[in-house]
Amino acid sequence: MATPIEARREPSQDEVVGLHVHNPADGSLVGIVPLLGRAAARDAVDAAAAAFPGWRATPANSRAQVLVAWSQLLIEHADELATLMTREQGKPVAQARAEILQSADYLQWYAEQAKRIAGELLAADRPDRVVRVLREPVGVVAAITPWNFPTAMIARKAGAAIAAGCTVVLKPAESTPLSAIAMAKLGEEAGLPEGVLTIVTGDPVEIGAELTSNPTVRKLTFTGSTAVGRLLARQCADTLKRVTLELGGNNPFIVFQDADLDAASEGLMAAKFRNAGQVCVSANRVLVHEDVQEAFLDRVRQRVRGLSVGPGLEPGTDVGPLIDDRSAMRLEALVREAVSAGARLEVGGHRHPAGDAYFEPTLISGLDASMTLCGEELFGPVAAVSSFRTEEEAVSQANSTPYGLVAYAYTDDRRRANRLGRDLEAGMVAINDSGIAGSAYPFGGVKESGYGREGSVHGLDDYLEMKLVCDGDAY
Ligand code: ADP
């Protein structure tokens, strides 16, 4: 029981009941958001269901106008949104700002696509018959998003759903709810009617249980780990919801003997160290032809040593903290195990003195498939290199994983490049290129990296149902 003195004391911010959001750079409190559970999720679904008829009936042009206004508000507020994102997520502020602009671009893209939703008029098999195919919004959509791209994942999911005429209940990750709330507020300012987008922060298991079992929810879209994706897909099975899953990867980055090694090493830096490697499309296994391994390692070593580590808000930071200290501890253990099994530490490999959640940009070579580090999604600033002898071997190693999100390859041989585009088992293949994301490109994986695509002209398909309407007495 509280003593009288304690009872009179104002509770500190830390003691307020809620979800506490901490800055991974220094552990300080960034904010507190509601710690909601199942009942709140159900209320949000009810609100989304109530808003659905009105939003679905809103002409596509008008829906597009709201999305454009939302996109513009993101651009106007890019600096403050980026600062907020860096404070709760840790990434360098320039990268956070780029993410805000990318999010604005997604909203703009979906606004344009909303106006292109079209049905079909089919050739009928009887002279008095008119046969149409309508494209209708699926209904209430549940979205569960991760912390690594706190804003872009919302833009990519909610933007598409809202463009299609759906209404959305969105659960952001526990570590980055503030960016989600800020984004939703701007959506409201842009003209989203009440219930079209509701953010529910709090307990993932409880909220997830409601969103996946409530029959009113017709679709779930999820980005996160394969383990959670699998669980959610299972939970959605009883009510047969449509499901889109963007899950983990174990992405190969292949450097052939004929590659431009400067371009390849520069590409690896982007594909590996952006967002401290906490990206589902990060290069996870770097496979280098044995003839060029030393020359490639020389280049990468130099570049990795040149990365500056520090708080994301400090100008010039290349690599910020990881999302939490557990992630840094996990990486330390994985690297230690690989080194004790014979891998060679080229650069880094340890916790960084800047703080508990920091890990040194690391280059490690001599890996073999038996090491845990090769089978896991690293989600950190660790480039793990092994060598190969033939193209066949490289492709076979690249494909020898249950995942299939993205595969990178550097080669100057045009025919080889075409073969790789055909043979690599991935939803996305980047040849002599370190990036694959863009609002006009279909983003998504195969195998245990998930199903469904986001962005591109296909990005709205997952939010639309086809309805066949036969009119048998039309003329
Ligand atoms: P990560 O390991 O990168 O945090 P997760 O898959 O655990 O990836 O998290 C991605 C999203 O999934 C987050 O919003 C998280 O809260 C949510 N999540 C985690 N577990 C569950 C669950 N059992 N039910 C619903 N959502 C969950």
Alpha helices in 165-286 (DSSP H): 177-190, 204-213, 226-237, 261-273
Alpha helices in 58-191 (DSSP H): 60-76, 78-89, 93-114, 152-164, 177-190
Q: Which atom of ligand 1 is nearest to the CA of 227?
A: 6
Give the pLDDT of residue 437.
85
Distance 42 CA to ligand 1 centre (A): 19
Of 272, 96, 262, 283, give the one whose Cα is nearest residue 179: 96
**DSSP bridge pairs for 243:** 220
Question: How distant, in Å, are the alpha carbons of 67, 72, 74, 152, 171 from that of 189?
Answer: 11, 11, 11, 19, 20
42 vs 208: CA distance, rounded Å? 11
- Amino acid in the structure at residue 110: Y
pLDDT of residue 116: 97
Give the mutation target among 36, 88, 89, 144 for probing the ligand 1 site: most ligand atoms within 8 A of CB.
Answer: 144
Beta bridge partners of 137: 464
Residues with CB under 6 A from ligand 1: 144-146, 171, 173-174, 204-205, 208, 224-225, 228, 231-232
Q: With CA atoms as reference, report the closest residue to 169 among 146, 145, 142, 148.
A: 142
How far is Cα 469 from Cα 412, in angstroms, rounded to an integer? 52
The minimum-distance atom of ligand 1 relative to the CA of 225 is 6
| Gap from CA of 8 to ligand 1 centroid (Å) | 38
Nearest CA to ligand 1 atom 18: 204
The rounded distance, in Å, linking the Cα atoms of 412 and 61 is 46
Instruction: Name which residue sits closest to atom 23 of ligand 1, judged by CA.
Output: 205
Chain centroid to CA 64:
24
Nearest CA to ligand 1 atom 9: 224
400 contacts 391 by C-beta, under 8 angstroms: no
DSSP secondary structure letter of residue 337: H
Reference 25, options 357, 301, 414; nearest CA is: 357
* CB count in 10 Å sphere of residue 467: 11
| Gap between the Cα atoms of 208 and 461, Å rounded | 24
Collapsing DSSP to helix, strand or coil, 114 comes out as helix
> Which atom of ligand 1 is nearest to 144's Cα?
14
Closest CA to 117 of 153, 161, 152, 158: 161
Ligand 1 center–CA 140 separation, angstroms: 20
- Global pTM reads 0.96
Q: Look at ligand 1, atom 14, and give the residue with the nearest C-alpha.
A: 173
> What's the Cα-to-Cα distance from 391 to each of 388, 423, 455, rounded to whole Å?
8, 11, 32
Q: Which atom of ligand 1 is nearest to the CA of 231?
A: 23
**CA-CA-CA-CA dihedral for 74, 78, 81, 82, to nearest 10:** 140
Alpha carbon distance 341, 49 (integer Å): 55
Token pair recorded at residue 113: 């696509």
Distance from residue 223's CA to the centre of ligand 1 (Å): 8
255-272: string of b/e by CB count within 10 Å (b at 16+)?
bbbebebeebbebbbebb
Distance 449 CA to ligand 1 centre (A): 15
Provide block-wise average pLDDT over 10 residues at a time, the chain (475 residues): 37 67 97 96 98 98 98 98 98 98 98 97 95 98 98 98 98 98 98 98 98 98 97 98 97 98 98 98 97 98 98 96 97 96 97 97 94 92 97 98 97 98 98 94 97 96 97 92
The set of catalytic residues is 246, 280
- Nearest alpha carbon, ligand 1 atom 15: 173
Query: What is the whole-number distance in angstroms between the Cα of residue 225 and the centre of ligand 1?
Result: 7
